[in-house]
Chains A and B, each alone.
Chain A
Amino acid sequence: MIAQNFEYETPATLDEALDLMEGGAKALAGGMSLIPLMKLRLAAPEKVVDLRRVPGLNSIRTADGRLHIGAMVTHYELESTPLVRTGCPLLAMAAATIGDVQVRNLGTIGGSIAHADPAADYPAALQALEAVIRIAGKGGERRMSAAEFFVDTFTTALEPGELVVETSVPLEAAGTGVSYQKCTQPASGFALVGVAARVIKEGGRVSLARVGVTGLAGSSYRAGNVETLLVGTAGGEEDVKKAAAVVAEGKEANSDIHASADYRAHLARVYTARALRAALGMAG
């Protein structure tokens, strides 16, 4: 990497990190998004604050019926930790589809969501999981939902100087069916479209449906219209098709050399149906 000169800091506490973040510094987590940008000089931070030594950011723990995941937990840890695989399989599934082994060994969930790439995988899962993101700043902590956090392409609700500290997701109740289905852009490994689905059935009817979508539009989103159509149905093939058909409605689909807007919208419908089918199958 032939980046521009920058200062490199390795704070040992969160407070120190927040102090160092003042005045336009960039946090460094796994470096899998930041370093390519610096290499191409599309990002040229004067100061880089490496979060690796900040204690507590790489823990995975349960509390209050939720799974709490530190910002520095890597994709590989999420993919492979038994607690995540059983407690929140959707997140493990999404993590397992990210890039390649090297990227998963270094990249972190905190870095991924702070970066807010419109084609990143976690956002779909976090939308469907109604995740809560804990943010620390000089003025204290705040929490917000994934729906509030992801604002637009490469844009989150983080204020300058703030850091993602933790993400929490519900520990899935027995009988919840989940699935993450992704159409991969073959060069980068990112999602052309990725759809996360969670469903619960009670008495033969869908009682809860959550659908998160990434890749299609400028930002990830929860497809409330799909959820509404599915809830109350028996979750049969026709129900799935009808619900999936509306996933792209009202969204301006991305278009680039890898996929036109039409094709992306089509993929969103296909992958929504696939995710719903798989989740319903798992929910039994």
Chain B
Amino acid sequence: MASTVTKTETLFGKRMKRKEDPRLITGTATYVDDIQMPGMHHAVILRSPYAAARIRSIDTKRALELPGVAAVFTGADVKDVGPVPCGASLPGLRVPHHHVLAQDRTYFVGHPVAVVVAADRYIARDAVDRIEVDWEPLDAVADPEKALEAGAPAVHPQWPDNKAFDYHQEHGEVDKVFAEADVVVKQRITSQRLIPCAMETRGVVAEWRSGEKALTIYTSTQIPHLMRSLVAGMLGIPENKLRAVAPEVGGGFGSKLNVYAEEALMGFVAMKIGKPVKWIESRRENMLATTHGRGHVDYYEIAAKKDGTIVGIKLKLIQDVGSYHQLLTPAIPTLSVLMMPGVYRCQNIRADIVGVFTNCVPTDAYRGAGRPEAMHGIERMVDILAAEMKMDPAELRLKNFIQPEEFPYATATGLTYDSGDYDKPLKKALEIAGYAKLREEQRAARSAGRLMGIGLSTYGEICAIGPSPATPAGGWESATVRIEPSGKVTVHTGCSPHGQGEETTFAQIAADELGVDIEDVIVLHGDTAIVQYGIGTFGSRGTAIGGTAMYFAIQELKAKIKRFGAMMLGCDEVRFEDGRCVCGKTGKSVTIQEIAAASYRAMKLPPNTEPGMVATYFWEPPNFTFPFGAHIVVTEVDKETGDIAVKRYVAVDDCGKIINPLIVAGQIHGGVAQGLGQALYEEAVYDDSGQLMTGEFMDYCVPKSTMVPWIEDSNTETPTPVNPLGIKGVGEAGTIGCSPAVVNSVVDALSPLGVRHIDMPMTPEKIWKLVRGGAA
């Protein structure tokens, strides 16, 4: 039979440009703000100018008088809308009722108070200024440690101690090993509050079809399916009457792994006014009212033997919760505890978390979500220990690594590390960096009076989040693979990529498995009306779980293809290769395209086989995956000004098998840029009254491309046994590996002055003060 198939090249492992990029970089993609509908109205939200205030009264009359204003809603109108959900649960968790609009009190600057709906956005914005609120400003507290002090203003009056939760985890004989240890080092380490700053701010379009009693919500989210389930509940409409669409999403970094007041609020508004409504978040609103990340104050102690063996780790973790729990707020620091031993063989750990309410926007997931904080802590502590013991930090790490033959390795925190070979990336990084030579250069620099530093981090992290028992809403992922009658392949993935390149990596896998051209594969996602239920994209899970679900769906199709092939070839011994079924006896073959056509035409069907060529698979992963790597950073500090120059950045990351090296490098580069942002530049600064001082890009410094050094990136590949593709995940690794390596490098540079720790961001002024004043 004739063939139209030419594919023989394996695409798994091939460096390929991303299929999604042309539309993204030519401005032809459709984001929420690109959606236009007849009769569409525009919403603008009045937000609290105070971190804490009582609302004595609200007068909307002057706003309603403005021509073009259709409606104004305040807290009283929405008091029956369900609360903004918190999906995480911990014993004793205090969950304040989180209305979609403030009722009689506001809890942070940016807290939504009222919404104006008008014919255009300009009128709506003007009308917001005409709403008169009688405010009674109250005392606020923005710093989590101050919030814990006796007499601090109570964020929620019903809980005067400002505690949101306590959490304790312990394993082994902590007191004993600390008592018997030869060395104990202690340090307070902060991971400051950060603003995620996705390039696209949030935005929602809601459309109510009164005849069908059906609501559609277009929203810039990482989790359209979960958003739909939860917002349907908030609005009291049947889940199957709500369609959620995540169109093109311009970055999330965890800040869109959430269900926000505005999503339900726009649904409410659309249903009330009977017209489509659009709300687009301004950049200032994004900085004020979209979740922040990190916000840790950590008190670490680690105990070691004379030879450098780490025997115990203690952590007191103060988590700045902010004013409310968003979807996963309380769960994030528990991830830090899970990862607290890092890549080291230490079975004695004790962790105590106290979650603290502050009059700030809630914290929640941000690239790495709990793991960067944990790695920053342990990797700083290992360096502090090395300095204390006068050991080389690389040597101390090599000494404490879990060894390859110990996997699967049960950690003290209850995880089972899947696979690992931690020496490999470290040794490779040391070699690329020329570590021994760098140390010589450093000695020469020091004797010339220059401050040169070499810092490293060897991180481990949790990807492919995660098995359902370990996640609040199910940790599986789904895929439907449909071979169309023409042989073209349509993949529906339940995860919702937004910049990770899965339209390409999934197509690479599908093209390999089915033997079709990659151009014949499309990957659809993000619309609950066309895609089966799914979980979403976060926690470096998209490809490792969603890609695996697709892989299994394809295996089912391949079995069916073979049944058709056998029937069509009249052969009971067929194999499927390079897009065709080949008869083992005659060598005759039929192509996948011919088989697809025959399966829909259905003139004849193989025994016990349905027509068509579609398979859906929901894959439950048996475990997380645990990537790792080593980053080495060389810095030089300008003694006069405190400026830090990053001279070299070496990153060796092991994310399991690599599907597309270009995408892996891109994820690492972006991740490192965000890690550098935290290490050197970024901090959400609130003043004592709870005003955000860094509410614009003029004051909040996200590193620009010219501020990011050349990254010498490479990989090692240690496959995971958790999924058949051997892939682990790479979305957050760059960020996780970066910040400790940078801080370790600068501390190393300043160590001749007696400096042993520096908190982030390491601004030039901070460094200058250390250079002038010596030890920190």
Q: Which chain B residues lie closer than 8 Å to A253 at the CB level?
A: none
- B693 with A257: CB separation less than 8 A: yes
Shortest A188–chain B CB gap in Å is 4
Shortest B253–chain A CB gap in Å is 18
Interface size, B (range): 20 to 34
- B125 with A2: CB separation less than 8 A: yes
Q: Which chain A residues lie closer than 8 Å to B125 at the CB level?
A: 2
A2–B696 CA distance with the chains assembled, in angstroms: 16
Contact of B641 among A5, A260, A270 (CB under 8 A): A270
A4–B128 CA distance with the chains assembled, in angstroms: 11
- B701 with A187: CB separation less than 8 A: yes
* Closest A residue to B697 using CB positions: A187
| B77 within 8 A of partner (CB) | no
| B284 within 8 A of partner (CB) | yes
Q: Which chain B residues lie closer than 8 Å to A72 at the CB level?
A: none
Q: Which chain A residues lie closer than 8 Å to B165 at the CB level?
A: none
- A188 with B122: CB separation less than 8 A: no
User: Do most interface residues of chain B lie in helix, strand or loop, or is the interface mixed?
Assistant: loop
* Closest A residue to B682 using CB positions: A187
- A263 with B765: CB separation less than 8 A: yes
Shortest A116–chain B CB gap in Å is 17
A4–B769 CA distance with the chains assembled, in angstroms: 44
Shortest B342–chain A CB gap in Å is 30
Contact of B765 among A2, A5, A260 (CB under 8 A): A260
| B212 within 8 A of partner (CB) | no
Q: Which chain B residues lie closer than 8 Å to A41 at the CB level?
A: 129
| B126 within 8 A of partner (CB) | yes
Contact of B700 among A183, A187, A267 (CB under 8 A): A187
- A5 with B704: CB separation less than 8 A: no
- B284 with A187: CB separation less than 8 A: no
Encoded as 1 (CB less than 8 Å from any B CB) or 0, chain A from 42 to 82 comes to: 00000000000000000000000000000000000000000
Q: Which chain A residues lie closer than 8 Å to B694 at the CB level?
A: 187, 257
Contact of A187 among B44, B641, B698, B768 (CB under 8 A): B698
| B31 within 8 A of partner (CB) | no
Shortest B12–chain A CB gap in Å is 39
Given A40-B284, A187-B681, A260-B765, is A5 in contact with B697 using a C-beta cutoff of 8 Å?
no
A192–B122 CA distance with the chains assembled, in angstroms: 35
A2–B681 CA distance with the chains assembled, in angstroms: 29
Encoded as 1 (CB less than 8 Å from any B CB) or 0, chain A from 1 to 44 comes to: 01111000000000000000000000000000000100011000
Encoded as 1 (CB less than 8 Å from any A CB) or 0, chain B from 525 to 537 comes to: 0000000000000
A5–B765 CA distance with the chains assembled, in angstroms: 42
Which residues of A from 159 to 208 have beta carbons under 8 Å from B?
183, 186-188, 190
* Closest B residue to A4 using CB positions: B126
Shortest B366–chain A CB gap in Å is 18
| A237 within 8 A of partner (CB) | no
A178–B720 CA distance with the chains assembled, in angstroms: 61
| B395 within 8 A of partner (CB) | no
| B685 within 8 A of partner (CB) | yes
Q: Which chain A residues lie closer than 8 Å to B704 at the CB level?
A: 100
* Closest A residue to B698 using CB positions: A188
- B699 with A188: CB separation less than 8 A: yes
- A263 with B707: CB separation less than 8 A: no
* Closest A residue to B125 using CB positions: A2
- A259 with B765: CB separation less than 8 A: yes
Shortest B330–chain A CB gap in Å is 29
- A183 with B685: CB separation less than 8 A: no
| B440 within 8 A of partner (CB) | no
| A143 within 8 A of partner (CB) | no
Q: Which chain B residues lie closer than 8 Å to A36 at the CB level?
A: 698
Encoded as 1 (CB less than 8 Å from any A CB) or 0, chain B from 669 to 713 comes to: 000000000000100010000000110111111111001000000
- B681 with A186: CB separation less than 8 A: yes
A200–B134 CA distance with the chains assembled, in angstroms: 64
Given A2-B282, A186-B701, is A257 in contact with B768 using a C-beta cutoff of 8 Å?
no
Shortest B65–chain A CB gap in Å is 16
Shortest A258–chain B CB gap in Å is 8
A78–B641 CA distance with the chains assembled, in angstroms: 29
Q: Which chain B residues lie closer than 8 Å to A257 at the CB level?
A: 685, 693-694, 699
Q: Which chain B residues lie closer than 8 Å to A270 at the CB level?
A: 640-641
- B681 with A5: CB separation less than 8 A: no
Which residues of B from 99 to 135 have beta carbons under 8 Å from A?
121-122, 125-126, 129
| A266 within 8 A of partner (CB) | yes
Shortest A70–chain B CB gap in Å is 28
Q: Which chain A residues lie closer than 8 Å to B703 at the CB level?
A: 186
Shortest B286–chain A CB gap in Å is 14
Encoded as 1 (CB less than 8 Å from any A CB) or 0, chain B from 216 to 245 comes to: 000000000000000000000000000000
A270–B638 CA distance with the chains assembled, in angstroms: 11
A226–B44 CA distance with the chains assembled, in angstroms: 53
Contact of A267 among B282, B641, B697, B698 (CB under 8 A): B641
A267–B282 CA distance with the chains assembled, in angstroms: 35
Q: Which chain A residues lie closer than 8 Å to B681 at the CB level?
A: 186-187
Q: Which chain B residues lie closer than 8 Å to A40 at the CB level?
A: 284, 696
A186–B643 CA distance with the chains assembled, in angstroms: 11
Q: Which chain B residues lie closer than 8 Å to A260 at the CB level?
A: 765
A40–B282 CA distance with the chains assembled, in angstroms: 10
Q: Which chain A residues lie closer than 8 Å to B699 at the CB level?
A: 187-188, 257-258
Shortest A216–chain B CB gap in Å is 14
Contact of A2 among B121, B693, B768 (CB under 8 A): B121
A3–B125 CA distance with the chains assembled, in angstroms: 8
- B698 with A2: CB separation less than 8 A: no
Contact of B768 among A100, A190, A263 (CB under 8 A): A263
- A5 with B700: CB separation less than 8 A: no
Shortest A278–chain B CB gap in Å is 15
- B698 with A266: CB separation less than 8 A: no
Shortest A63–chain B CB gap in Å is 38
Q: Which chain B residues lie closer than 8 Å to A188 at the CB level?
A: 697-699
Identify which of A2, A259, A263 gathers the most chain B CB atoms within 10 Å of its CB.
A2
Given A5-B126, A257-B693, is A186 in contact with B707 using a C-beta cutoff of 8 Å?
yes
A266–B699 CA distance with the chains assembled, in angstroms: 21
Could you show 10 A-B contacts with beta carbons less than 8 Å apart? A2-B121, A2-B282, A5-B122, A36-B698, A40-B284, A100-B704, A188-B697, A188-B698, A190-B698, A258-B699
Binding site for B on A (CB under 8 A): 2-5, 36, 40-41, 100, 183, 186-188, 190, 257-260, 263, 266-267, 270
3 tightest CB-CB pairs across the interface, nearest first? A187-B701, A188-B698, A186-B701
Beyond contacts A4-B126, A5-B126: 16 other A-B pairs, Cβ-Cβ < 8 A, are A2-B44, A2-B121, A2-B282, A5-B122, A36-B698, A183-B641, A186-B703, A187-B694, A187-B698, A187-B699, A187-B702, A188-B698, A263-B769, A266-B768, A267-B641, A270-B640
